[in-house]
Amino acid sequence: MHTWKSHLRSVLYRLARTHGHSPLADVERLLAEVFDGAGVQFSSLEDHPLEPELPLRDLLARPFQVALRIDYQPQRGGLPDVAGRAGDAPVVASRFRPEPPLSPEQRVDWFIREFDRLEQTHEFMWAGYIVKEMLPRIGVATAAAREMLDELRATGIVTVRKVPNPKNPEHPASSVELNRDHDHVRAVLSGAAPPSGDSQDPSNQPAEPTDA
């Protein structure tokens, strides 16, 4: 069933893809325009105001509530016992909690499917993009994202190679590629259950940590 909450969740997730680093104050103004409201205000579940500079992606990693202010003016010919007083400002409030965090195994499977989708339309997949943009979408902080990428490389799910960096020729960039011959990768992309213990392939151990 379509509800205000589900619609708001959908809008916020779409905004996170294009305005993930935008401060909360800008997001509130943008949402007010989207919903044709007089104002939008985010706050904690305890009704404490949130910092205006909080990025949208950081907001979606915590519980919060949001109030949409809609100014109502009675229309001509409306029923007098139904129309509100001019100037009344009904507020529609929605409590929003992020989805439960993915388990480590679910994160790996999500990564494989999302990487497969992106790799088909991008010539290169930069390690920096994966660490700073892709993995944080599922709640993996930057420091943990570097560790996760190193683990994916260690288990052979991805390979990392140095390629020329057009922006800084003196410092090659790290390009990441999905190992489509890996048993776990093939299982996830085919929709089959991944074999147990398949991700420990000693032949793909990294010689050094991934440079992101």
- 84 and 135 both lie in a single domain: no
Position 59 scores a pLDDT of: 86
Last residue of a domain, one of 75, 96, 117: 96
Secondary structure (DSSP) of the chain: ---HHHHHHHHHHHHHHHHTTSBHHHHHHHHHHHTT-SEEEEE-TTSPBPPTT-BHHHHTTS-EEEEEE----PPTT--TTTSPPTT---EEEEEE-PPPPPPHHHHHHHHHHHHHHHHTT-S--BHHHIIIIIGGGGT--HHHHHHHHHHHHHTTSEEEEEE--SS-TTSPEEEEEE-TTSHHHHHHHHTSPPPTTTT--GGG--SS----
For range 188-193, the mean pLDDT: 79
The whole-number pLDDT of residue 204 equals 38
Between residues 72 and 187, the one the model is more confident about: 187
Task: Categorize the per-residue pLDDT at 200 as very low, low, confident or very high, splitting at 50, 70 and 90.
Answer: very low
Q: Tell whether 25 and 69 lie within a shared domain.
A: yes
Q: Are residues 74 and 129 in the same domain?
A: no
CATH classification at residue 138:
1.10.10
Q: Is residue 209 part of a domain?
A: no
Range of the domain at 24: 4-96
Single pTM value for the model: 0.46
For 21-47, how does the pLDDT look when each residue is reduced to its tens digit (9 = 90+)?
888 888 888 887 777 778 888 888 888
